Amino acid sequence: NAGVMQNPRHLVRRRGQEARLRCSPMKGHSHVYWYRQLPEEGLKFMVYLQKENIIDESGMPKERFSAEFPKEGPSILRIQQVVRGDSAAYFCASPPPGGIANTGELFFGEGSRLTVL
């Protein structure tokens, strides 16, 4: 959905570097989800955030990964000391106001494709 903006669209990093992925949800939306799409594995939930608060991080790897959604600015997914296994497409999604309970619809960005050399 054009309303959810992610950047960069493509990112190449060498092993051991840091990757920062950004997501701006649809205007007026204050929550974001991050999902990871690994080859042959489909979409896996990582983290659910609202501004200045992590609601659910049960899908985040215990090390090297962190996410934030500050009061001002985009949500950021940060991967430290990247390894080849981090190569994937990372999608941000924005629920409608009121959450997904009623409609179930998430509005996805076009994704950030990380390649680790």
Partner 1 sequence: GDSVTQMEGPVTLSEEAFLTINCTYTATGYPSLFWYVQYPGEGLQLLLKATKADDKGSNKGFEATYRKETTSFHLEKGSVQVSDSAVYFCALSDLGGSEKLVFGKGMKLTVNP
Q: Smallest distance from the beta carbon of 48 to partner 1, in angstroms?
A: 5
Locus of tokens 């054009």: 2
Token pair of 107, please? 């509005």
Rounded-to-integer distance, Cα 55 and Cα 8, Å: 25
Token pair of 59, please? 């899908």
26 binds partner 1 (CB under 8 A): no
Is 70 or 99 the residue whose CB approaches partner 1 more closely?
99
Rounded-to-integer distance, Cα 81 and Cα 40, Å: 24
69 binds partner 1 (CB under 8 A): no
Q: Smallest distance from the beta carbon of 7 to partner 1, in angstroms?
A: 13
Q: Smallest distance from the beta carbon of 4 to partner 1, in angstroms?
A: 7
Pick one of 21, 48, 65, 82: the residue that binds partner 1 (CB under 8 A): 48
Query: Who contacts 108 (Cβ-Cβ below 8 Å, separation ≥6)?
Result: 1, 4, 91, 92, 93
- Per CB under 8 A, the segment of 12-20, 69-77, 79-87, 103-111 that binds partner 1 is 103-111
Contact 19, 82 (CB under 8 A): yes
Task: List residues near partner 1 by CB under 8 A.
Answer: 1, 4, 33, 35, 40-45, 48, 55-56, 58, 91, 93, 95, 99-101, 103-106, 108-111
